Amino acid sequence: MSEKGIGSSVRRSEDQRFLTGKGHYVDDMNRPGQAHAAFVRSPHAHARVKMVDTSAARKAPGVIAIFTGSDVAADKLGGLICGWTVKDKNGDPHKAPAHPILAYDKVRYVGDHVAVVIAETQAQARDAAEKVDVDYEVLPANIDTAKAMKGAVVHDDAPGNLCYDWELGDRAAVDGIIKSAHHVTRIDLVNNRLIPNAIEPRAAIGEYDSGSGHYTCYSTSQNPHVLRLILCAFIMGVPEHKMRVISPDVGGGFGSKIFCYAEEVVCTWAAKKIDRPVKWTADRSESFLSDAHGRDHVTHAELAMDKEGKFLALKVETIANMGAYLSTFATCVPTYLYATLLAGQYTTPIIFANVKAVFTNTAPVDAYRGAGRPEATYVIERIVECAAREMKMDPVELRRRNFIKPDQFPYQTPVALQYDSGNYGQALDAALKMSDYSGFKSRQAEAAKRGKLRGIGVSAYIEACGIAPSAVVGSLGAGVGLWESAQIRLNPTGSCQILTGSHSHGQSHETTFAQVVHEHLGIPYDSIEVVHGDTALVPFGMGTYGSRSIAVGGSAIVRAADKIIEKGKKIAAHLLEASVDDITFKGGEYRVAGTDKVKTIGEIAFAAYVPHNYPAGVEPGLDETAFYDPANFTYPAGIHICEVEIDPDTGRTVIVNWTAIDDFGKVINPLIVEGQVHGGVAQGIGQALLEGCVYDNDSGQLVTGSYMDYCMPRADDLPSLKVGMTETPCPHNPLGVKGCGEAGAIAAPPAIINAITDALGVMHLDMPATPEKVWRIAQQNRPAAAAE
C-alpha cells in the first residue's frame, strides 16, 4: 500500500483553507453591484392571503424592488417540484398540490414565503420587509401527524390530507401468520421530527448577464447539476446551457441542502428583473422555519415469532408527515427508502408495510441523514428488543438466531432488495468483545451502588446506499437517473484534475478521490486536485446524498482512470516500439512486459499533448470521462452497542460507553470513515436524547425555533466513541466500497432507547428521552426497585 493510496489515513487536502479562514462559502462571496434579499414570511400556520400591501415598504430607504406571488405568477414561473412519483395502492400517482415559489392565495406553514424585498443592504431589506403589510384570514391549522387525516384540509386537491396510501407486500398473508403465531410483539412508536441544522445556513446569489443571457446561481446545494435541472426545466423555462450553478464550499448538508428551495429560485429570477446580482443568506431562525425537516413518523408494528423466536412475519403501518408541501424527494423517503429496509439483518420471510403520507401545516419534510433507513432500523430494532424481553430471551441471541447467514448472500429480502454481501455475526462478535458485553452485569451492579441505573442496548442496522440502478429507480417513480460522472484530466506536465459530479460538504472527497486516482494511476497524491460543485466545470453529476459518493462517484472515477490507462497503453506501445498487448501498467509506469523498457504516466501525458512522435489514429490529449450506473445498491451494516447511566433523581441520562462495529466494505481512508461514523452517531444520539422539533398543536407556531429551545448535541452531551470495522467487500463495484455517511445516524437511536428502557425496566419510551420523561418513568418504577 502506498503511503497515500487506498487504505491510508491521509490527512485532508481540504484542511489548510478551512483552518486558516480561507474557505469560500456562499456567504463569503460578493458580486459586483449586488443587492440583498429579505423574505416576508408567514407568521401563521394556515391563512388566506387577502391582500399584500407593499406601498410603505417600497418607500423605505434602499429598497430596489419588491415581488409577491402575483409577480411570480405573471412571469409564469413553475412551482417547486417533487421528483419522485409514488403510486397509491389504488394505482394513482401521489397527490401533488402546487408549491408556489411565493404564496399567492394561501400560506400553509409558519415561515412560508409571501414576498421578497430587495434592497441595497441586508439590513435595509430586513427593515423594509417588516413594513410589508399582509392581510391574513387565519384558518385552522393541521399539525399533529397522527391526527392529520382528520384535521383541517391543507390542500383542496388532497382530500383527507392524504398524499398517498402506499403498500408493499401481502397484507392478508401477513395477517394470517400473525393470527396463528406462537407469539406476537406489538409496538407503537413515534420517530421524532428533526431539524437538520447544518451549521452553515442556506444562502444563494443569483446573477444575470443580459449580454449573453446567462444566469448564474451560487447555492449551498449538495447537488448543483440537479438544482440546475430543476431551475431550468421545471421552474424558469431556461435552457440548461444558459444556467450555471456553483456550489462552492458548503458547510454541511445532511440532506437539507439536496432540495430546490424558493429562495434560490427567487434570487436567480429577480437578478434578471432588477439586472443586478441578488444575494440572500438565511439567519438561523429562517433555517429553523424553512429548511426541510426530517423523520416525523407515527408507526404501529407487529412481529410474529415461533416458540424458538424465529421471526415469521412483520407488519408495519406508518403515517408519515410530508409537511405543507412536497419537497424535492419527500415522497420516496418513507416508501422506497424505508419500507424496503424493513427486513433489517434478519430472515423474516414475509413483510407487509403500509405508509400513509399526510399533509400538515408544518415545514416540508424530506431526506435527513439516513432518510427512511433510520426510521426502518428504529422500528425493527425496537420491536426485536421488545420481543426478546417478552419472550424472556437474550436480545443478542434472538438477533443472532434470525440473522441472514454469510452463506445466504446474495440474499433476496421479501421487500424488494437483494443484499449483496455481509457477515452480521462477525460484526456482532466484534462488538460484543469491544464493548465487554459480558462484563455489563458487574458494571450495572457497581452503578447501582452509586444510585445510578445502568442499561445496555444493541442495534443491528442495515442501510442501502448508492441508490441504483437508474432503470430500477425509474420503474419505482424516480424522475432522475442515479448514476454519477467523473472526468480525469491529465495535464501536459503530469498533474491531474478529477472533475466529479459528487459534491463534498464535509465528506472529504478532495482527499479520498485523490487517493483513489493516486492508487490507480500512480500519479503523486500532491499532483492531483479534485474539482466539484460547478456545472460549468464538471461534465454532469447527481450530487451527494444517500452515502452514494464513494460507491457511485468513486466507481465513476475508477472507470475514467481505466480509460486513461487504456489510451496510455496505445501511446506507450508506440513510444516503446512494442505491441499494445505487451504493455503492462502498474504504479504509474507503462512497461513492456518482461523488459526494463518503461514510460511513466507523466511522460505519456506529455506525449499526448505534444504529439510529435505519436501513434496514428490516436487522438491527442489525455482526458477521459466516464459515467457509472451501479448494478445494485450497496448494503453497509453493523452493530452499535450503547451503555447508559441514569440519575433517577433528575432523569439525566449519560452515555458511558459507545461501541460501533461497521462493515463499509473496502475503506479508502480509515480516519475519514471513522469521522463519518462519529458524526452520524452524534446525530443519532441527538435524535434519541436531545432533539425534537415541536410545533404548537393549536397555533402551529414552531416552539423549537432557535438553539434556545431546539437541543443541539454539544461536546459535553456526547461520549468518546469506540469505533471498529469488519469488511465484506461490495461485489459489484470496482472499489468494493459500500458508503459510510449515514450509518451512525441509522444505528444509534434504537441502541440508546434499548439501553434506557433496559435501565428503567420498561418496554418503551418515545424519543427524545428528555430528563423529565426519564425521571417520570424512574419515579413510577422506584417502589419496585426499592423492594428488591
Does residue 23 touch another protein according to CB under 8 A?
yes
H helix intervals, 578-711: 601-609, 670-685
Does residue 361 touch another protein according to CB under 8 A?
no
Q: Which residue in the set 442, 579, 595, 650 belongs to the binding site for another protein (CB under 8 A)?
A: 650
Q: Which residue in the set 718, 727, 762, 781 belongs to the binding site for another protein (CB under 8 A)?
A: 718
Q: How far apart are the first and last CA of the chain?
A: 58
Which distant-in-sequence residues (6+ apart) come within 8 Å of 439 by Cβ? none
Q: Which residue in the set 135, 649, 698, 766 belongs to the binding site for another protein (CB under 8 A)?
A: 649
Contact range with another protein by CB under 8 A, out of 313-321, 481-489, 619-627, 667-675: 667-675
Please report the sign of the dihedral spanned by the C-alpha atoms of residue 461, residue 466, residue 467, residue 472: negative
- The least CB distance from residue 562 to another protein, in Å, is 30
Does residue 11 touch another protein according to CB under 8 A?
yes
Strands 496-500 and 528-531: parallel
Angle at 652 between CA 646 and CA 657, to 5 degrees: 55
Q: How far apart are CA 282 and CA 706, in angstroms?
A: 13
Contacts to another protein from residues 573-612, by CB under 8 A: none
- The least CB distance from residue 648 to another protein, in Å, is 10
Does residue 42 touch another protein according to CB under 8 A?
no
Q: Which residue in the set 73, 146, 593, 712 belongs to the binding site for another protein (CB under 8 A)?
A: 712
Closer CB to another protein, 565 or 681, in the complex = 681
- The contact pattern for another protein, residues 234-253, with x = CB under 8 A and - = no contact, is ---------------xxxx-
Q: Which phi-psi region, left, alpha or beta, contains residue 386 (left: φ > 0; alpha: ψ -120 to 50)?
A: alpha
- The least CB distance from residue 20 to another protein, in Å, is 5
Q: Which residue in the set 694, 729, 761, 764 belongs to the binding site for another protein (CB under 8 A)?
A: 694
Contact range with another protein by CB under 8 A, out of 44-52, 397-405, 530-538, 717-725: 717-725
Cell numbers 433476496 correspond to 412
Residue from 115, 118, 117 nearest 134 by CA: 115
Cell numbers 484534475 correspond to 497
Phi and psi torsions of 764, nearest 5°: -145, 155
Angle, nearest 10°, between helix axes 395-402 and 373-390? 120
- The least CB distance from residue 706 to another protein, in Å, is 5
Contact range with another protein by CB under 8 A, out of 169-177, 482-490, 616-624, 770-778: 770-778
- The least CB distance from residue 97 to another protein, in Å, is 30
Does residue 62 touch another protein according to CB under 8 A?
no
Closer CB to another protein, 151 or 255, in the complex = 255
Does residue 19 touch another protein according to CB under 8 A?
yes
Exposure of 362 in the CB half-sphere (CA atoms within 13 A): 35
Contact range with another protein by CB under 8 A, out of 27-35, 449-457, 491-499, 603-611: 27-35
Q: Which three cell numbers stand for residue 249?
A: 464550499
Does residue 706 touch another protein according to CB under 8 A?
yes
Which distant-in-sequence residues (6+ apart) come within 8 Å of 429 by Cβ? none
- The least CB distance from residue 220 to another protein, in Å, is 10
Q: Which residue type occupies 47?
A: A
- The least CB distance from residue 672 to another protein, in Å, is 7
Q: How far apart are CA 364 and CA 6, in angstroms?
A: 40
- The least CB distance from residue 246 to another protein, in Å, is 16
Please report the sign of the dihedral spanned by the C-alpha atoms of residue 724, residue 672, residue 769, residue 657: positive
Closer CB to another protein, 457 or 679, in the complex = 679
- The least CB distance from residue 708 to another protein, in Å, is 4
Does residue 7 touch another protein according to CB under 8 A?
no
Closer CB to another protein, 72 or 673, in the complex = 673
Q: Which residue in the set 78, 414, 546, 680 belongs to the binding site for another protein (CB under 8 A)?
A: 680
Q: Which residue in the set 5, 6, 12, 145 belongs to the binding site for another protein (CB under 8 A)?
A: 12
Closer CB to another protein, 485 or 511, in the complex = 511
H helix intervals, 326-439: 373-390, 395-402, 424-434
Compute the chain's Rg from CA coordinates.
27
Angle at 321 between CA 317 and CA 327, to 5 degrees: 130
Contact range with another protein by CB under 8 A, out of 331-339, 574-582, 597-605, 699-707: 699-707
- The least CB distance from residue 316 to another protein, in Å, is 28
Strands 214-219 and 243-246: parallel
CB 466, CB 630: distance < 8 Å? yes
Closer CB to another protein, 169 or 713, in the complex = 713
Does residue 40 touch another protein according to CB under 8 A?
no
Does residue 471 touch another protein according to CB under 8 A?
no
Q: Which residue type occupies 28?
A: D
Across-strand partners of 623? 489
Contacts to another protein from residues 268-287, by CB under 8 A: 283-285
CB 402, CB 348: distance < 8 Å? yes
Closer CB to another protein, 167 or 249, in the complex = 249
H helix intervals, 20-153: 55-58, 69-74, 122-129
- The least CB distance from residue 511 to another protein, in Å, is 10
Closer CB to another protein, 162 or 693, in the complex = 693
Q: How far apart are CA 689 and CA 752, in angstroms?
A: 8
- The least CB distance from residue 250 to another protein, in Å, is 7
Closer CB to another protein, 305 or 660, in the complex = 660
Contacts to another protein from residues 128-167, by CB under 8 A: 130
- The least CB distance from residue 36 to another protein, in Å, is 11
Contacts to another protein from residues 187-206, by CB under 8 A: 197-201
Does residue 21 touch another protein according to CB under 8 A?
yes
CB 646, CB 455: distance < 8 Å? yes
Does residue 682 touch another protein according to CB under 8 A?
yes
Distances in Å between the alpha carbon of 134 and those of 131, 138, 598, 699?
9, 12, 75, 18
Q: Which residue in the set 413, 435, 634, 683 belongs to the binding site for another protein (CB under 8 A)?
A: 683
- The contact pattern for another protein, residues 94-133, with x = CB under 8 A and - = no contact, is -----------------------------x--xx--x---
- The contact pattern for another protein, residues 483-512, with x = CB under 8 A and - = no contact, is ----------------------xxxx----
Q: Which three cell numbers stand for residue 132?
A: 410589508
Closer CB to another protein, 46 or 509, in the complex = 509
Q: Which residue in the set 182, 405, 441, 714 belongs to the binding site for another protein (CB under 8 A)?
A: 714
CB 110, CB 141: distance < 8 Å? no
Contacts to another protein from residues 727-756, by CB under 8 A: 744
Distances in Å between the alpha carbon of 387 and those of 96, 129, 177, 753?
39, 55, 16, 15
Q: How far apart are CA 560 and CA 502, in angstroms?
A: 14
Q: Which residue type occupies 385?
A: E
Residue 557 CB neighbours (<10 A)? 31
- The least CB distance from residue 131 to another protein, in Å, is 12
Phi and psi torsions of 641, nearest 5°: -125, 130
Q: How far apart are CA 664 and CA 505, in angstroms?
A: 20
Q: In 587-743, where do the E strands start and end?
A: 589-592, 598-600, 623-628, 637-647, 652-663, 722-726
- The least CB distance from residue 679 to another protein, in Å, is 5
- The least CB distance from residue 39 to another protein, in Å, is 14
Q: How many residues line the site for another protein (CB under 8 A)? A: 76
Angle at 263 between CA 257 and CA 265, to 5 degrees: 95
